[in-house]
């Protein structure tokens, strides 16, 4: 997380001190680095430069309009999974010709909106969906550009909740049924077969499962071409992991090197759907210590952020480094603590049994690597307003989402 470093004794995002940010806008707050976002996007773009490609940022990881507009302006495309994400993508300025629509449960309305917007492609995940899309497209008098998402059945070696390319998962069309599904797709008047698609999981820290899956997909593309079904695009999905602690995920270049041999040979346009690896290490959750508590059995640091702000630790057992904003704390004593929020659940923790520099009430902490699936999965549980989001650019910042108010939380509700 090179864009989060100590300068003049405080942890900073680029050149903005998190202490001064907290004083200006309060806590909890998500703080994103524009430079980090662009660096990771460009690293993908460079790594795949030798083949025609579109890096379609997976909006689900962080859908803030400020984040999206930054990537759209840099030339990225978007991977969406809902009508809401289509709305955001268009609002943020992604050209429809760079938007792809993934997901197992697209509704007719969502299909219609995406067809009317003339998006690049639908990644179709079942025959039922394919037939519905065919109908909707014919009703509109258009042909839907389609890739079938094929489940290559490889083990991505990641947390079971975020593995998607196994035989037992709900995603994609089983590899063994793919040829038949393509033949049906090729026969439909409302559908134009354009590509093949996969996504095997998230937070993958090895390149081999990606390479295995792409090799399977490449063999399918060849078999399809023998049947005169022309495949012009291959979507390799997202899933490249980030470093939280000791993981050593492949770099963008290593990832590209693992995939390119098979892709180059096919002569296709390569689509990518990265989410976490673009935004994960570009953001932190900034929070303040409310209380210290020692029960005799355990020490707790109670902070003003909670599982409603960042659910990843209890949900996936994920590790997020916790850093004091004040560099001076790093030289002091350490202690083993649970870092917990104010929510009435024992699952409300951001770090467990963690050896941390001793912090006092009022201290600021940064929960690192929180840019992906942080705010995006936040809720209003316990009627907690969702945090503010800030995008830093050099020595300036923009509040790209204001903190929710209590009025926001009840807007839309009525008493009978
Ligand atoms: N494409 C498809 C079809 C996906 O399902 C996903 C993520 C992506 C792309 C982007 O994957 P990424 O590059 O971000 O790994 N909430 C979980 C992660 C769920 C990922 C779901 N699908 C977490 O916090 O770890």
Q: Which ligand 1 atom is the nearest neighbour of the CA of 61?
A: 14
What spacing in Å lies between the alpha carbon of 237 and ligand 1's midpoint?
A: 9
What spacing in Å lies between the alpha carbon of 149 and ligand 1's midpoint?
A: 15
Q: How many domains does the chain have?
A: 2
**Same domain? 343 vs 260:** no
**Same domain? 267 vs 133:** yes
In this prediction, residue 165 carries a pLDDT of 66
Strand-pair partners of 197: 149, 235
**Same domain? 197 vs 172:** yes
Q: Which ligand 1 atom is the nearest neighbour of the CA of 238?
A: 13
pLDDT tens digits for the chain (416 residues)? 789 999 999 999 999 999 999 999 999 999 999 999 999 999 999 999 999 999 999 999 999 999 999 999 999 999 999 999 999 999 999 999 999 999 999 999 999 999 999 999 999 999 999 999 999 999 999 999 999 999 988 877 777 776 776 777 888 999 999 999 999 999 999 999 999 999 999 999 999 999 999 999 999 999 999 999 999 999 999 999 999 998 999 999 999 999 999 999 999 999 999 999 999 999 999 999 999 999 999 999 999 999 999 999 999 999 999 999 999 999 999 999 999 999 999 999 999 999 999 999 999 999 999 999 999 999 999 999 999 999 999 999 999 999 999 999 999 999 99
**Same domain? 218 vs 233:** yes
Quote the tokens at residue 409. 């939380």
**Same domain? 217 vs 91:** yes
φ, ψ at 324 (rounded to 5°): -70, 145
Quote the tokens at residue 176. 């063994």
Q: Which ligand 1 atom is the nearest neighbour of the CA of 202?
A: 15
Q: Which ligand 1 atom is the nearest neighbour of the CA of 81?
A: 3
- Pocket perturbation via mutation, ligand 1, pick of 62, 76, 126, 276 by most ligand atoms within 8 A of CB: 276
> Of the candidates 276, 295, 315, which is a domain's last residue?
276
**Same domain? 302 vs 241:** no
Within-domain flag for 415: no
Cβ burial, residue 50 (10 Å; 0-12/13-18/19+): exposed
Between CA 125 and CA 151 the distance in angstroms is 9
**Same domain? 209 vs 249:** yes
Q: Which ligand 1 atom is the nearest neighbour of the CA of 273?
A: 9
Nearest CA to ligand 1 atom 16: 373
Q: Is 379 helix (H, G, I), strand (E, B) or coil?
A: coil
Nearest CA to ligand 1 atom 6: 238
Q: Which of these is catalytic: 12, 13, 56, 344? A: 344
What spacing in Å lies between the alpha carbon of 101 and ligand 1's midpoint?
A: 14
In this prediction, residue 282 carries a pLDDT of 98
Told to judge if 12 belongs to the known catalytic residues of this protein, a careful annotator would answer no
**Same domain? 263 vs 371:** no
In this prediction, residue 325 carries a pLDDT of 98
Q: Are 250 and 212 in contact (CB under 8 A)?
A: no
- Pocket perturbation via mutation, ligand 1, pick of 235, 239, 375 by most ligand atoms within 8 A of CB: 239
Q: Are 37 and 279 in contact (CB under 8 A)?
A: yes
Cβ burial, residue 248 (10 Å; 0-12/13-18/19+): exposed
Within-domain flag for 203: yes
Q: What angle do CA 243, 246, 250 make, to 5 degrees?
A: 50
HSE of 100, CA atoms in CB hemisphere, 13 A: 33
In this prediction, residue 1 carries a pLDDT of 72
**Same domain? 19 vs 53:** no
Q: Are 59 and 323 in contact (CB under 8 A)?
A: no
163 DSSP 8-state letter: B
Where residue 29 falls (left for φ over 0; alpha for ψ -120 to 50; beta otherwise) is beta
What spacing in Å lies between the alpha carbon of 273 and ligand 1's midpoint?
A: 9
CATH label of the domain that carries residue 291: 2.40.37.10
**Same domain? 293 vs 264:** no
Within-domain flag for 416: no
Within-domain flag for 299: yes
List the domain range (segments joined by +) for residue 272. 34-276
In this prediction, residue 153 carries a pLDDT of 85
Buried-state track 107-141, b at ≥16 Cβ within 10 A, e below 16: eeebbbbbbeeebbbbbbbbeebbbbbbebbeeee
Q: Which residues 6+ apart lie within 8 Å of 273 measured at CB?
A: 56, 57, 58, 79, 100, 102, 199, 235, 236, 237, 238
- Pocket perturbation via mutation, ligand 1, pick of 41, 60, 79 by most ligand atoms within 8 A of CB: 60
Cis peptide before 28 (omega within 30 of 0): yes
**Same domain? 8 vs 65:** no
What spacing in Å lies between the alpha carbon of 312 and ligand 1's midpoint?
A: 13
Which residues are near ligand 1 (CB < 6 Å)? 58, 61, 79, 102, 162, 164, 199, 202-203, 237-240, 273-277, 312, 316, 372-373
What spacing in Å lies between the alpha carbon of 409 and ligand 1's midpoint?
A: 28
Residue whose pair of structure tokens reads 């969702």 in the numeric block: 386
> Of the candidates 227, 245, 276, which is a domain's last residue?
276
CATH label of the domain that carries residue 93: 3.20.20.10
What spacing in Å lies between the alpha carbon of 215 and ligand 1's midpoint?
A: 21
**Same domain? 69 vs 216:** yes
């Amino acid at each position: 997380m090179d864009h989060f470093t100590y300068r003049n004794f405080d942890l900073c995002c680029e050149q903005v001190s998190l202490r001064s940010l907290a004083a200006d806008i309060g806590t909890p707050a998500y703080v994103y680095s524009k430079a980090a976002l662009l660096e990771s996007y460009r690293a993908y773009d460079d790594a795949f430069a030798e083949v025609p490609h579109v890096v379609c940022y997976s909006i689900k990881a962080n859908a803030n309009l400020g984040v999206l507009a930054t990537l759209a302006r840099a030339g990225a495309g978007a991977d969406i999974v809902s009508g809401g994400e289509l709305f955001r993508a268009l609002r943020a300025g992604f050209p429809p010709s760079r938007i792809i629509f993934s997901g197992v449960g697209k509704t007719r309305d969502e299909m219609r909106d995406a067809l009317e917007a003339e998006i690049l492609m639908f990644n179709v995940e079942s025959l039922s969906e394919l037939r519905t899309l065919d109908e909707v497209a014919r009703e509109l008098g258009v042909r839907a550009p389609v890739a079938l998402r094929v489940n290559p059945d490889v083990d991505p070696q990641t947390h079971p909740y975020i593995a998607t390319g196994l035989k037992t998962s709900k995603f994609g069309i089983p590899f063994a049924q793919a040829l038949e599904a393509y033949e049906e797709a090729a026969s439909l008047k409302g559908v134009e077969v354009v590509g093949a698609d996969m996504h095997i999981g998230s937070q993958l820290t090895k390149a081999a499962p990606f390479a295995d899956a792409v090799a399977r997909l490449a063999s399918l593309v060849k078999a399809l071409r023998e049947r005169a079904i022309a495949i012009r695009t291959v979507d390799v999905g997202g899933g490249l992991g980030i470093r939280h602690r000791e993981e050593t995920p492949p770099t963008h270049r290593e990832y590209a090197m693992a995939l390119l041999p098979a892709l180059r040979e096919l002569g296709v346009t390569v689509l990518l759907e990265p989410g976490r690896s673009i935004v994960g290490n570009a953001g932190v959750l900034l929070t303040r210590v409310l209380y210290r508590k020692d029960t005799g059995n355990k020490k707790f640091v109670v902070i003003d952020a909670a599982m409603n702000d960042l659910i990843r630790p209890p949900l996936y057992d994920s590790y997020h480094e916790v850093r004091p904003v004040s560099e001076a704390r790093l030289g002091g004593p350490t202690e083993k603590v649970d870092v917990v929020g104010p929510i009435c659940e024992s699952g409300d923790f951001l770090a467990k049994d963690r050896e941390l520099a001793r912090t006092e009430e009022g201290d600021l902490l940064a929960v690192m690597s929180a840019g992906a699936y942080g705010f995006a999965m936040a809720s209003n549980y316990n009627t907690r307003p969702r945090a503010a989001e800030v995008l830093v650019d050099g020595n300036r910042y923009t509040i790209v989402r204001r903190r929710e108010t209590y009025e926001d939380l009840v807007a839309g509700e009525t008493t009978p």
